[in-house]
Amino acid sequence: MQVGPILANSLIWAAELGVISIGMSLVYGILGFANFAHGEFVTIGAYLTYALHIGAGLPLLVGIPIAMLGTALFAILLDMGVFSRVRQASAVSKMVLSVGIAMIIRSVISIFFGTSALQLGYRAQRLPEVAGLQLTDLQLIIIIATLVSMVLFHLVLQQTKLGKALRATADNSSLAEAKGINTTSVIRWMWFFSGAFAALGGILLALETQLRPALGLFVLMPMFAAVTVGGLGSVYGAVGGAIALAVGQNLALGIDYGSLLGFEPWRLRAGYKTGIALIALVATLLIRPQGIFGRRGG
Amino acid sequence: MKKSRHLQGFALSMLIIAGMGLAACQATGPVEEEEPAPTIEEEAAPAEAGEPIPIGVLSNLTGPETTSGVDMVRGVELAVAELNATGGINGRPLKLIIEDAEYQPQLGVDAAHKLIDINKVPVILNVGGSGIMLPVGEYAGTQNVVLINTGASSPQLRDLPTLCSIVPLDDIVGKVLGQWAYDDGYRTAVTAVPNNPYGIGVQDNATIGFEDAGGEVLEQIAYIEGEADYRPDAQRIADVGADVVLSATYGDDANLFLKQTIEVGADSPWYVTYPTILNVGNPEDANGRLFGLEPGWDLPEAQNFMNNIYAAEYGDPPSTPWANYSYDGMMLVGLTMRQCGPTADCLLESMPEVAQTYDGVTGRIKFDEDCQRPNAPLVKMVYQNGELKLAED
């Protein structure tokens, strides 16, 4: 088993998945439904960056924050135009609605950008191997960008009034409102963070791979698995779940099961990566439904 | 308790919907409805006296790779225009009915049912890749409808009773690919192919070609098409450390593979089948590293067809050789129908004989006992300076 590549792949995947899953977990924690359109925020962020960088010729470092901001505003508008009107509907109704919205967004992106893959054009360079870890400059940037954004968001959650309001609303929105917190404003901010983080994840994923209209759809299952494994509705759980899932997936693919058992080398095919996420999701729901970092509800 | 029920509901709904979504979009992203281009024969067709003869065309016009599908449809259109301009089928014009398989077997089968059951076509041309051709061919066989294959290459196609191929199957191409890599000095290989009948056909036969020549295939990797990330597969290729990668990758997946294998330090050359259907995003990933075996188009007749006939109609020559093969396929169908009528039986019985007198743009076609073409020309190509060029032997 080669520990270096497994660790490197786990770090990159955990970074991308973690930053995407934060928003998903926020929405579930505060509004109580699984937002299937969250994957499309990932796609919108990536395509907005493409339009700004490749289309309009803006430098990548300028295009990325604008794309994040644009996606965040789109998320807020989506809530104002659609989700706020069905606030009292059941969680399943809102979830089904989000599936429809996701399909519409995906189709619109296909109409404007086509169905073929596009590239953001960043040429990654291999860095020298350090302690068995072989990364490219882009992968290092992905890990650092994710870490920085997560630390900043942690500070927002813990050190600001907005963060306290977000946490209070997630814990009990009625009580938060009774205490004078403007939950409508808090929900808008929640959509802002949700959209911005998803966009960042999508941009990083697109830089590392390529853009496709179904980009968000591809991360949907791992994202749900991460937030479930970590603990539904918990931001820190989403990040922890992403790390646990990424390590689990890459470990499961990296182990030479044949040699371990004294036979010819045999490993799982990489195509089972999504299957491993699904198994993790089901196992968590069966064994510890509140997730690794979640508290048992009554 | 309420929260537990909430969790259960969440889990159940999520699994069902996510499963449906992923299954539906496994191979491709959402596809756009594409209006077939107007056919040439609608504009100028002297053969207007009789009732039009419907001809089915089933190609991939949307999905992960569309260039070859569009080229194939245009090749058929040019042949039909030529046939109709010279009298059609004994006075009856040919009328094309074009359907899009979208690279999805189920959609391909649905389209084939429509062509066969509703449009009552006696023959369907092109029919996407092997994954689509196989189920379509099973049904077409039961309905005695002929399939003219100009884009699929799995050796399993030999078993379809009403299928004739204008392109060579992978029991020929794959072996030549493996032999070529060995002849270029590589002694160990890893295969990386899409997990579909086409990919597995190339994998098996490239392995035979490479190992019969004296090389060793260290590992076979069959990947799932249309994934967003191939890092684990790329890592596996790097871990194996073979001299060369033998592959059947195509479309956008190819671009991601070339990029991500370099990033993990696996910069071995790739020998692939049909390199004109690969999408190369960054030329630096492929320059001097990508080699491919393509159905030939270097005959003077092919050059004339591509640079004069095709370019005159569509503005530029085709970017793949597939138009040549679909043109020849349609011409052969038309010439055979002129001899014995627009029926499947006529085509199956007489096409091999007619082929012996038809000098196509892909050369003289000779069918074997399975109505396959063992003598199709193949050319070796290399990707250099951002484009595919003929490789020097």
Tens-digit pLDDT profile for residues B187-198: 999 999 999 888
* pLDDT confidence tier of residue B315, bands split at 50, 70 and 90: very high
Q: What is the pLDDT of residue B62?
A: 83
Q: What is the pLDDT of residue B32?
A: 34
DSSP E strands in B213-370: the ranges are 216-223, 244-247, 270-273, 290-295, 359-360, 363-364
What token pair was written down for B110? Answer: 């649905």
Span A86-102, average pLDDT = 94
Residues facing residue B57 across a β-bridge: B98, B125
Using a 10 angstrom Cβ sphere, with 0-12 exposed, 13-18 middle and 19 or more buried, the burial of residue B390 is: exposed
pLDDT, residue B328, reads: 96
Shortest CA gap B362–chain A (Å) = 29
CB contacts < 8 A, A to B, total 152
Alpha-carbon distances, residue A13 vs A209, A291, B255, B256 (angstroms): 12, 20, 20, 16
Instruction: Tell me how many helices (H) and strands (E) chain A has.
Output: 12, 0
Answer yes or no: is the ipTM higher than 0.85: no
Cβ atoms of A234 and A23 closer than 8 Å:
no
Contact B358, B350 (CB under 8 A): no
Which pLDDT score, from 0 to 100, does residue B23 have?
A: 42
What pairs with residue B148 in β-bridges?
B125, B164
Average pLDDT for residues B222-229, to the nearest whole number?
Answer: 87
A 106-135: CB under 8 A from B:
106-107, 110-111, 115-117, 119, 121, 123-124, 126, 134
pLDDT at residue A271, as a whole number: 78
- Establish how many alpha carbons lie within 13 A of residue B360's alpha carbon, considering only the half-sphere containing its beta carbon: 30
Report the mean per-residue pLDDT for chain A.
91
DSSP bridge pairs for B95:
B54
Q: A46 contacts in B (CB within 8 Å)?
A: none
* Vertex A121 angle, CA B291 and A254, to 5°: 65
Pairing of strands B363-364, B359-360: antiparallel
Facing A209 at nearest CB: one of B13, B228, B233: B228
CA distances from B300 to B305, B306, B363, B366 (A): 9, 10, 10, 19
d(Cα A191, Cα A75) in Å, to the nearest integer?
6
A270 Cβ under 8 Å from any chain B Cβ:
yes
Lookup: tokens for A128:
């020298």
